[in-house]
Structure 1
Amino acid sequence: MKKMWIPAAGLVLGVLIGLLIPVRVPGVYSKYMSVAVLAALDSVFGGLRASMEDNFDNAIFLSGFFSNTLLAAFLAYIGDQLGVELYLAAVLAFGMRLFQNLAIIRRHLLKK
């Protein structure tokens, strides 16, 4: 529970940086960015869940964060090149995992 602040601090810091630094992403990259952000959020909620279960490992969190984000954006790009809306599969998979992790975190907090 003591390392739970790491992913939460990363999420807050990322949101603050995003709000304070106005970066405009062209519309053609919106699919890639949306999938990458969803994958990153999935990793953050997975890190929070692991922290609550006293199973958090910083190396696993960081490697999962970057590999999930890059793989999701790459799959969306490959799907565009093939003319297939492949990003929808990533949205579905990461969305389901995000809601599962959120439900487990909520249950853990309610039991306390």
Structure 2
Amino acid sequence: MWLPILFLLIGLSLGLLTDIRVPEAYSDYLSIAVLAAFDTLLGGIRAQLERTFNETVFMTGFFFNVSLAAFLAFLGVQLGVDLYLAAVFAFGVRLFQNLAIIRHQVIDQKLLTKFRKK
């Protein structure tokens, strides 16, 4: 469980320490890719807490989500429609659902350990 958090911290550190600028034309693609990556990361944390984590599902889900999101953004640009907003909405809903489930899992685990000690 600590490995994804370690690489998240390394990635954030590298991103903040470097002076790489993303062209404005790619901002839609990058925002969608970041949302898809966070969705997969939180899904992995949720699966770990539920003891159902599978590395293959995590890795394929990560690349599939990012690829699908980038394709939706690309298709939207080609059609002249803000299609990436559909992906933002879908990933946003899943992000908040995963966060809520993670919060419930952590609270339930703390309550169980508290009652076991009594």
TM-score between the two structures when normalised by the length of structure 1 = 0.91
How many residue pairs were aligned?
A: 109
Counterpart residue number, 2:26: 29
Q: Give the structure 2 partner of residue 55 of structure 1.
A: 52
Question: Relative to structure 2, which stretch is displaced further, 42-51 or 69-78?
Answer: 69-78
Match of 2:37 in 1: 40
Aligned partner letter, 1:105: I
Asked if the contact 1:48/1:105 (under 8 Å) is kept, the reply is: yes
Structure 1's unaligned 5+ residue stretches are none
Q: Which runs of 5+ in 2 are unaligned?
A: 111-118
Q: Kindly provide the amino acid, as one letter, of the partner of residue 39 in structure 2.
A: D
Q: How does 1:12-27 map to 2 (within 5 A)?
A: 12-27=9-24
Which has more radius of gyration?
Answer: 2
Q: Displacement, 1:9?
A: 2.3
Q: Percent identity?
A: 58
Q: Distance in 2 between matches of 1:9 and 1:69?
A: 20
- The CA distance in 2 between the partners of 1:60 and 1:9, in whole Å, is 20
Contact 1:8–1:48 under 8 Å retained in 2? no
Which residue pairs with 1:94 in the alignment?
91
Aligned to 2:113: none
TM-score, normalized by length of structure 2? 0.87
Contact 1:31 1:76 in 2 (8 A): yes
Q: Partners of 2:44 and 2:71 in 1: how far apart?
A: 23
